[in-house]
Amino acid sequence: MQLSKRFHWAWLVLGICFIDLFINYSVRLGYGVVLPEMIRTLEFGRAAGGTIYNSYLFVYILVTPFTGYLTDRLGARRVITVCLLILGLGVAAMGTVGNLKEACLFYALVGLGATGLWTPVITLVQRWFAHHRRGLALGILSTGYGLGLATMGAVFPLIVAGLSWRYAWYCLGAMAILMVAANGLLLRSDPAKMGLKPWGRGADPDPQAAVGAAPQEELHLKALFRDRRFWLIGLSYFAIAYSLYGFTTFMVDYAQHQLQLPLERASFLATIHGIFQVVGVLVVLPLSDYIGRKKTILVSNICIALALFGIIFCGPHWKLLYGIVGFMAIFYGATFPIYGACAGDYFPREQMGTVIGAWTPFYGGGAILTHWVTGLLRDTTGRYDTTFLICAFMAVVSLLLISPVKKKT
């Protein structure tokens, strides 16, 4: 089924996936915005706040490799639709929590739903767009999570003032549940099954398509795990996830309680971060189509490291902090989709979901570790300085790990 000769179904797929990511990352990244009020009213420490997020991440990293595999076998439409329903129910339940056990349980359910709202989504979009258009498509797609965080930063103080932090979860849960039908009815897992080619297939075809794509069973897990590039990219992903989540999850709390900024000004950091993520994905990801994923990751990770060092040394100068956070967000927004795009560049196209899923434990491991370390050090020392310094050094480590990666000739 095709809407018209001029309208390619790829753009409908991209639009639905955009909304999915907007909701998913409003939930995931918005947690850091809700965190200060949530731990204040429930009387949790920062380590407990990190533990709640880690319950999400534990489920996420355990299940996502299977979700990636199921995406390749059953199709992205089924996986995304079911997972979106699970996410919506879990998010709505987050508004009812009264203790740490309930918060961990419900956010773990959210993590289960989220397994279908990253790996299957970017796998699906890459299949619907030609190789030399993937950076553009992922750039447009990834504005969804920047706008999600920006919206939470702007709207959350209004929700707190008029109602309570609980209604932020209720609204997000309702949005997710409403999108279930749209995904089930309109998404399509494979353009070939509709008699279509990926959008943009023309003078610059997919290199794998030109030489003949690898058969679906060609890339076995044993072969994947013996590939040095898989481990180097995965470990780099671990390090950069550690550095980014160690700051962004706690940045509003840092601004409010260490720098003593009012909630509105502290929450506005999330809005700045989200807006500049949008700028980044619209500039950096399309640029990667021309200069290559590896070079883009090198430049991006250098800039993230510099920004994190800058945050440490700018002290209480909140205007300077806004500027540095905006600069870092340009590259933050491009980080996760560009690592995902490496799956399509270095491994067979038909196995992108499996590869991206297999990298998720690296990403999740970095995020889990940084939440515990950052939360415990903040509770112990009363400050975030040491934890942010560790994050900056981890960004440098990610840079060193990705440097040796080369395509096979």
CATH number of the domain enclosing 327 = 1.20.1250.20
pTM: 0.68
378 or 2: which leads in pLDDT: 378
CA distance 363 to 239: 8
Residue 375: its pLDDT value, please?
A: 83
Mean pLDDT of 196-212: 54
Least confidently predicted of 174-178, 372-376, 385-389, 398-402: 372-376
CA distance 74 to 83: 14
Quick one: pLDDT band at residue 72, thresholds 50, 70, 90? confident
- Burial of 275 by CB count in 10 Å (0-12 exposed, 13-18 middle, 19+ buried)? buried
Residue 302: its pLDDT value, please?
A: 93
List helix spans (H) across 212-347: 221-226, 228-248, 251-253, 263-291, 293-314, 318-346
357 or 93: which leads in pLDDT: 93
Sequence-ordered list of residues with C-beta below 8 angstroms from that of 341, at least 6 positions apart, any chain: 122, 126, 134, 135, 138, 285, 288, 293
239 or 194: which leads in pLDDT: 239
Structure tokens at 111: 């993590």
Check: CB of residue 322 under 8 Å from CB of residue 188.
no
Does pLDDT of 29 surpass 70? no
Does pLDDT of 391 surpass 90? yes
Residue 300 lies in a domain: yes
Quick one: pLDDT band at residue 149, thresholds 50, 70, 90? low
Percent of the chain clearing pLDDT 70 (strictly above): 88
Which residue in 349, 307, 319 sits closest to 130, CA to CA? 349
Residue 216 lies in a domain: no
Residue 258 lies in a domain: yes
- Burial of 75 by CB count in 10 Å (0-12 exposed, 13-18 middle, 19+ buried)? middle
How many CB atoms neighbour CB 262 within 10 A? Answer: 11
Residue 265: its pLDDT value, please?
A: 82
Residue 213: its pLDDT value, please?
A: 41
Three-class secondary structure of residue 408 per DSSP: coil
247 or 150: which leads in pLDDT: 247
Q: Which domain holds residue 163?
A: 10-192+221-402
CA distance 311 to 370: 17
CA distance 244 to 318: 19
Structure tokens at 34: 């809700």
Check: CB of residue 371 under 8 Å from CB of residue 244.
no
Q: Supply the Cα-derived Rg of the chain in whole angstroms.
A: 20
Quick one: pLDDT band at residue 211, thresholds 50, 70, 90? very low
Residue 375 lies in a domain: yes
Check: CB of residue 41 under 8 Å from CB of residue 100.
no
Structure tokens at 233: 């990219």
Check: CB of residue 164 under 8 Å from CB of residue 171.
no
Gap between the terminal Cα atoms of the chain: 39
Residue 201 lies in a domain: no
Residue 21 lies in a domain: yes
Residue 145: its pLDDT value, please?
A: 67
CA distance 158 to 203: 50
Question: Domains in the chain: how many in total?
Answer: 1
Sequence-ordered list of residues with C-beta below 8 angstroms from that of 107, at least 6 positions apart, any chain: 31, 52, 53, 55, 56, 90, 94
Quick one: pLDDT band at residue 200, thresholds 50, 70, 90? low
The mean pLDDT of the chain is 81
pLDDT in tens, 246-296: 888 888 888 888 888 887 788 888 788 888 888 887 788 778 877 887 888
Q: Which helix (H) or strand (E) holds 3?
A: none
Residue 400: its pLDDT value, please?
A: 93
Does pLDDT of 173 surpass 80? yes
Residue 204 lies in a domain: no
pLDDT in tens, 82-137: 999 999 999 999 999 989 999 999 999 999 999 888 878 877 887 777 766 666 77
Residue 259 lies in a domain: yes
CA 93 to chain centre: 22
What residues form DSSP beta bridges with 199? 129
